[in-house]
Structures are given as structure tokens and as C-alpha cells.
Structure 1
């Protein structure tokens, strides 16, 4: 097989290139989603339901710290893609070095604080009563590995920015597969309980990092950094953080949304409504993986060609990505409209939930066919380094429309108001994104002589 270069992002046919980038990303996202589901089943069956509750207490803390790595990775990868497109390899190397330093400094600081105030943090996130002790065991061990996870999440986006999607996919699959294997060994065979679950998770991060280090030491990577690249450069740090904040803010809004939804639905419909929402949320994670894969595949292609001033290819990439994502989103929509009852039965046998969940799921996914415009449009601004519109458009659906709607509409329509907030916010966010995207295309991607 011929050696793959980042320069392929600027030369290969867009359709072929987008599939090559998006397919591994989609598979990686799918494997990670399946890992979360199967891991929960293993822990629940081999340790007990209290263990599931304990892990749920810890995950928001550990994932938020690890999300710093993802944010730094996505912010820096946008710079790297554009730098490679402009043949500015020194800037790409300096950016990668700064990403490593930032990730280590921030995550190690937060982990230190997290360990010092472990009891307070666990209690605040719901680790009370019988949940506290297993949560603390899991928390302390997993937090040791969180900086490693953050480095893996950061480096994974850089691998994709180099135009190496298959290796990025392998990096996503290694911790998922190894975690399940070590769950079986540590929990089921050796009976290590919560310690076993925690060490299985932490060691899976280490295996992933070993693979990533091998990738960058081998001839597979074009980014060969040295110690001089690790020194922080303020302009680069500023650009990384401004672009990365888009991802971090999105993660924060998602967490806030879950907090509000659980409380509002519990007040309106009790545990049945909360369970119905949990099923819909789980399906969002699984069903949208191909669309998210196209979005991930789109980013390095658009960033590279924008950096190379090849605006015609940027426009073609944008149109192709929206078309592919829209087709996939429509297929998801059709399946969920036809088979919501069958899907709900996969999660529960509770009669009340089964009566409610299918209809709720239809509302949640009612506007799915148009969501491609919103996802790709927001990602476009992040890919070309425009942090402010990327941030505003990324937050528009949940932050500006959905959260206000779930407080307003239930006053008039009861619980139905919560569910119809999903398609309404999707439509409004898509309209806003389409407007700004169309304006950006006319301003920067269409030659002046064509416009006149």
C-alpha cells in the first residue's frame, strides 16, 4: 500500500477522500459507544447495580477533565491542518508540541485538585450512602489515568489532521476492546470488584497511549517534534484555546442539558419520563454515529484546503459532506420512525416506559434529516479557524434554543412541550446555521468575478 501523506487532502477526489476519512471515524465512534453499553452490562451483572451508580458518579468528573484533551486536540488540529495545507511544517510541529504541554499541565493540575477534594466532589455528584465507598475506590484509580486519556484524545485528533484516519480509528478501538477484555479478567475471573473495573479502565488508556507513541515514533507520522516544540508559544496557545473552547463549551452545555431535562421530566412525568429520555439519549449516541463520522472526516479536509487557499475544494468538500450526512441522517430518521417500539424493548420490559418511549423517541428524532446542515455548518467554521461563529453555531441548538424552550413550552403544553422542543430547536438552529454558512460561502469561497 502506498504511503499516505497529508498532501492527499489537497489532491485526491473529494468524494473518495471524505469516505476514506469518515468511515474510520464512524467505526471508531461506534466501537466506543458499544464499549460504554457493554461495559455497563458487565459491571452491573458481575458487581451489582450499586457499581453502575458509582461509575455514573465518577464519569462526569473524569470525562470533563479528559474533555480538556479533546478540546486542545480539536483546537490545535484545526491549526495543524491549515499549516500543513500552507506547507508551514514548523508551525504544525510547534502547535503539536504546545498541545502536549497544555494537556499535561491542565489535566495534572485538575487531577491533583480532584484527588485532594475527593470526598467533597464524590458527595456533590451524588455518591451518597452505599454508593460512596465503591465510587471513591473507582474515582481514585481512574483519576490516575485521566491525564493519559486526555493525551490520547488530543493526539487522536492530530492523527486525523495528518490525514491518517485508519490509525485514528485504531487508537479509538484499542481502549474499547482492551477495557472489555480486562473487565472479564479482573472482575469475572479474579473477582477484584470495583478495583478491577477501575484498573481495567485505566490500563486501557495506557494501551492506547502506547499505540499512539508508536505511531509518532514510526515513519507513519509526519510530525516529528523535539523538546524545543514543547515550549509554550502565546499566539499558538491563544488560537488553540479559542478554537478548543468550542468543544469544551459544547460538552458543558450537554451536561447542563441532561441536568435540566432529568429534573424537569421527573417533575412532569416521574421516573417513567426520565427513563424514556435516557433511552432516547442512548439512541442519539448510537444512531448518529455515521453522521458524526462524516463531520469528523470533513474537518481535516476543509482545514487543509482552506490553508492551501484552494477554496473551490473547500466548497466541494462542504457540499459533499452535507449531502452524505443528510442521506445518512434520513436513513436514521426512517428507521427510528418505523421501529421505535422494537428499539425501546432492547432497553427495558417496563410496560409504562414501553407505552411512552416510542412516541417520545419520534419527537426527539423528528427533524433529524436536516441536522446535517447544522452539524457540518458549525464544524466548517471550526475547521477554518473562525472560533466565534463556530462557538455560537455549536451552542445554538442546545444553548440558545433548546434549554429556553424546555422551560417555556411545558407551561403551555405540559410534558409534550419538552418533547416538541427537540425538533423546534433543530429547525431553528439549522436555519441560523444555513444563513451564516451561506453568507460565508458568498464572501470567501466564491470568486469575486463569479459573484459579479
Structure 2
């Protein structure tokens, strides 16, 4: 499978970005679609309180997945840079460490989550009328923690070695299966919210079976070696440092949900928690293509940075930014023009739709800048710059949104909560712009230095060749 890694350095950037991004976009849209379907089925089969209960539990599920994403993205960029530097041994060492870390973390999360489930749900904003729904959902999801974590990590490893097609299949299979199983467990078996969780866990298990087939059948360019399952401090420290930015971004969403669920319960009601849950699922569908573009961008930028092809790093940054910005603008137009229709997909509750329309329009007022922010933060993950990557991942939701939402809600109540979204989008995009401009100047300097080194090496090689020709003259007979 070496041709998959070679193309990261040789193939035209536009075609390569499309080749790696499209499968990721399709797969993520399917993942978002089954979250859509989960919410729709729960709304029809259980009601608004069911949506609110799952909305409280869902951020906890996202934290579990965030651990897998942290290990997968951090280890994946390390694999890409190692392959770019032609260091296969280090890439395979990273692969073994990824799976060992995932196993330890997921078992720990299952045990701790099961023991402290009710306190965790209360922390995340579960009110007395929705607590039982949240318990039904999370009590099942926790037992599937290992499947979620393996899946999240493996998808990133597949893309890291240029195998986006297999990563797409590994995401689509459980997504489609979940859509099929949902109505069976929710309606036919009358398991309601718990049925949605069972369908999700079973679907992820099947996805992990396919992942096992991928790695053990020779589809991967990397091999498992027993010695690589022993955790290596140098490998893990770099993995966690780079992956921490992805972890913070996902966990920030969960922390944000804790704050919002509690504030919405204070300044609004369970209805507004449900509205936020629907908007969150809806925005996830629009954000997934942006994250898909970023997933296609990561291995290209990381590999070429490792190979010292800084010109290609800059080119893929430019093309990925244009693609993500274009989709951001399309998303903005859709949610602003058709908010009622989009909300009615999830629920027929007239109160949810009427109060959700202004909230959705306000929340997405500056959604068109999010695509740039996602790609810009991904640049620093790709090149192993843990500090800026972490800062940019924290900026929108932790450093800006959470402090601001307390202030805005204090002065403006419920409307202040909704208006915090566009303000945070603008400020985080400006911060990202500052760091990307600075890093682009550094890449320009590195490129000039590398061109000079290449020219010097070429001159030395030509001089040796020229001297050799003069020293050796064939004798006449």
C-alpha cells in the first residue's frame, strides 16, 4: 500500500485534497445523518422531553469520542510526518501505542462513567423531568465506549496513511446500520430512548469489526508488532501534545453544553434545552463537511511538512481554506433562508419551532467564518505545533464563549445566550487569522532556506559529476 503514501508528496494538491476530503465529507455526513435520525425518531416516539434528555447525555458521549479523537489525530499526524520522513518504524511504533492507549482509556471511562452516572448527568444540566431519559441513554452508551474510541482513532490513522476510502467505509457502515436499527429498537421493541443507544452501540461494534479486517488483511501500509504495544513516553507525549487541541475542541463542546443546559434551564425551560439540542444536531450536519475538508487537509500538510515540501503545505492550506469557506457560506444561506423547515424535520412541536426559528438565525449569523477557523486550527495540528493548535481549539468555546455567555445572559437573559454564538465566531476567526498569517511567513522562510539547500546540493552533485568526467578519459586503442 506504499502508493497511498507516495501520492501525498507527488499528486497535484487540488486532486489530492478532493480525493482525501470527499470520502471524509461523505462519511461525516452519514454520521451526522444518523444523529439526525436518532433525534427525529426520539422526537416522534418519545417527545420533546426525550430530545432534551438525549441532548444532556450527548455531550458525555462526545467526551468519550474526544479521547479517541485525541489519540487518533495526535498519533495520525505523527504517522504522516514519519512516513513523509521515510521513517516507517516510528510510524508503526505510533500505531501500536495508539491502540494500547485507546484500550486503557476506554475501560477507565466505562468504569468511572457507570459509577458516577447520576452526578455527571446532573452536572451536565439534567433537570428532574428529563433525568430518567438521560440515564436510559447513557447507561447503554458507556458500555460501547471502547468501540467509539477505537473507531475515532482508526479513522484518523487510515487517513494519515492516505487511505481515505477505507476510513469512509468504516464510518458509513455503522452510520447506515444505525439508521436501520433505530426504528426496530425504538418502535418495534418499544425500548424508546434506550433503544436508540442500543442501536448506536451495536452499529459501532460492526464498524470496529471492519476496522479489524482493514488492519489485519494487509490493506494498511503499517504492520502491528508486539513490541509497539508497549507505551513509549516519547511517542505518547507527542501524540497527546498534538492531539490535545482536537480533544479540547470536542470537550469544549461538552463543557459548553454543561453551561448552556444549566443557563437555559435558569433563563428558559426544558423546551429551550430541547431547542439547543436540535440546533446542535443541525449545526453538526453543516459543520461535518468543514471537518471533512480539514481531515483531508491534515495528512497532506503533515506528510509534506515532514518531507520539507513547504510549497505544498502552503498550497493545500490555501485550497482547503477556499473549500471550507465556500461551504460555510452555503450553510449560512440555508439556515438563514429556511430555519422553520429545518427545525420541522426534527419536531412537529409548534412551540419548539416558533421559538427555535429566531434562536437558529441568531446562532448562525456568522457561521460563514467557521470554515476558515477549522482549517486554520488544523494547520498547527498537521505541523506538530501543539501550543497554537491548543490555543485556537480553546478559543471559540472556552476562552471566548463560556465567559461571555455568563455576562450576556446576566444582562440580556435568554436572548443574550443566543447572541453569544455569533460574537464568539467572529472573535475566534480573527484570532485564527493572526496565527495563520504569522505561520505562513514562517513557512515562506523555511521554503526559501530549503530551496537554497537544494540548489547547493545540486551544484555539489553536478561538480562531482563534472570532475568525474574529466578524471576518466577512455584510452585510445
Q: Please report the TM-score for the alignment, with normalisation by the length of structure 1.
A: 0.89
- The separation in 1 between residues aligned to 2:279 and 2:138, in whole angstroms, is 28
SS in 2 for 1:366: coil
Which deviations, in whole Å up to 9, do the C-alpha atoms of 1:177-205 show, x marking residues without a partner?
22233334445445566765544332222
Match of 1:422 in 2: 421
Native 8 Å contact 1:314 1:445 kept in 2: no
**Structure 1 stretch displaced more, 383-392 or 346-355:** 346-355
Which deviations, in whole Å up to 9, do the C-alpha atoms of 1:54-95 show, x marking residues without a partner?
655654444423321121111101101111111110110000
Match of 2:299 in 1: 300
- The separation in 1 between residues aligned to 2:403 and 2:49, in whole angstroms, is 34
Match of 1:15 in 2: 14
SS in 1 for 2:109: helix
- The separation in 1 between residues aligned to 2:99 and 2:315, in whole angstroms, is 33
Match of 1:438 in 2: 437
1:129 CA displacement: 6.9
Larger radius of gyration: 2
SS in 2 for 1:222: coil
Match of 1:339 in 2: 338
**Structure 1 stretch displaced more, 179-188 or 222-231:** 179-188
1:232 CA displacement: 1.0
SS in 2 for 1:288: helix
**Structure 1 stretch displaced more, 104-113 or 189-198:** 189-198
Structure 1: stretches of 5+ with no match in the other structure: none
Structure 2: stretches of 5+ with no match in the other structure: 452-477
Native 8 Å contact 1:57 1:127 kept in 2: yes
1:49 CA displacement: 6.9
- The separation in 1 between residues aligned to 2:280 and 2:159, in whole angstroms, is 27
Task: After TM superposition, list the pairs within 5 Å mapping 1:54-73 onto structure 2.
Answer: 55=54, 58-73=57-72
**Structure 1 stretch displaced more, 199-208 or 231-240:** 199-208
Which deviations, in whole Å up to 9, do the C-alpha atoms of 1:188-237 show, x marking residues without a partner?
44556676554433222221111011111223210111111111111111
Native 8 Å contact 1:66 1:107 kept in 2: no
Q: Within the alignment, does 1:96 sit opposite 2:129 as a pair?
A: no
1:338 CA displacement: 2.0
Native 8 Å contact 1:4 1:164 kept in 2: no
- The separation in 1 between residues aligned to 2:206 and 2:105, in whole angstroms, is 22
1:270 CA displacement: 4.3
Q: CA 1:49 to 1:373, structure 2 compared with 1: closer, same or farther past 3 Å?
A: closer
Task: After TM superposition, list the pairs within 5 Å mapping 1:40-189 onto structure 2.
Answer: 40-43=39-42, 45=44, 55=54, 58-118=57-117, 121=120, 139-189=138-188
- The separation in 2 between residues aligned to 1:350 and 1:90, in whole angstroms, is 57
Native 8 Å contact 2:170 2:211 kept in 1: yes
- The separation in 1 between residues aligned to 2:51 and 2:358, in whole angstroms, is 28
- The separation in 1 between residues aligned to 2:400 and 2:369, in whole angstroms, is 16
- Give me the CA root mean square deviation: 3.0
Native 8 Å contact 1:364 1:422 kept in 2: yes
Task: After TM superposition, list the pairs within 5 Å mapping 1:243-392 onto structure 2.
Answer: 243-270=242-269, 273-392=272-391
1:439 CA displacement: 0.9
Which deviations, in whole Å up to 9, do the C-alpha atoms of 1:358-408 show, x marking residues without a partner?
333222222222223211111100111111110001111122222222222
**Structure 1 stretch displaced more, 219-228 or 299-308:** 219-228
- The separation in 2 between residues aligned to 1:131 and 1:351, in whole angstroms, is 20
Which deviations, in whole Å up to 9, do the C-alpha atoms of 1:257-303 show, x marking residues without a partner?
12222333444444555444334323211122222211111111111
1:422 CA displacement: 2.1
- The separation in 2 between residues aligned to 1:118 and 1:268, in whole angstroms, is 26
Native 8 Å contact 2:14 2:319 kept in 1: yes
1:412 CA displacement: 4.8
1:157 CA displacement: 0.6
SS in 2 for 1:163: coil
1:128 CA displacement: 8.1
- The separation in 1 between residues aligned to 2:33 and 2:225, in whole angstroms, is 37
SS in 2 for 1:5: helix
Q: CA 1:156 to 1:275, structure 2 compared with 1: closer, same or farther past 3 Å?
A: same
- The separation in 1 between residues aligned to 2:47 and 2:264, in whole angstroms, is 27
- The separation in 2 between residues aligned to 1:125 and 1:263, in whole angstroms, is 7
- The separation in 2 between residues aligned to 1:410 and 1:137, in whole angstroms, is 31
Which deviations, in whole Å up to 9, do the C-alpha atoms of 1:118-152 show, x marking residues without a partner?
56556666778787777656544433321122111
- The separation in 2 between residues aligned to 1:417 and 1:48, in whole angstroms, is 27
**Structure 1 stretch displaced more, 156-165 or 30-39:** 30-39
Match of 2:223 in 1: 224
- The separation in 2 between residues aligned to 1:420 and 1:193, in whole angstroms, is 34
Q: Please report the TM-score for the alignment, with normalisation by the length of structure 2.
A: 0.85
Which deviations, in whole Å up to 9, do the C-alpha atoms of 1:134-179 show, x marking residues without a partner?
7656544433321122111111110011111111111111112222
- The separation in 2 between residues aligned to 1:243 and 1:211, in whole angstroms, is 27
**Structure 1 stretch displaced more, 11-20 or 259-268:** 259-268
Aligned length: 451
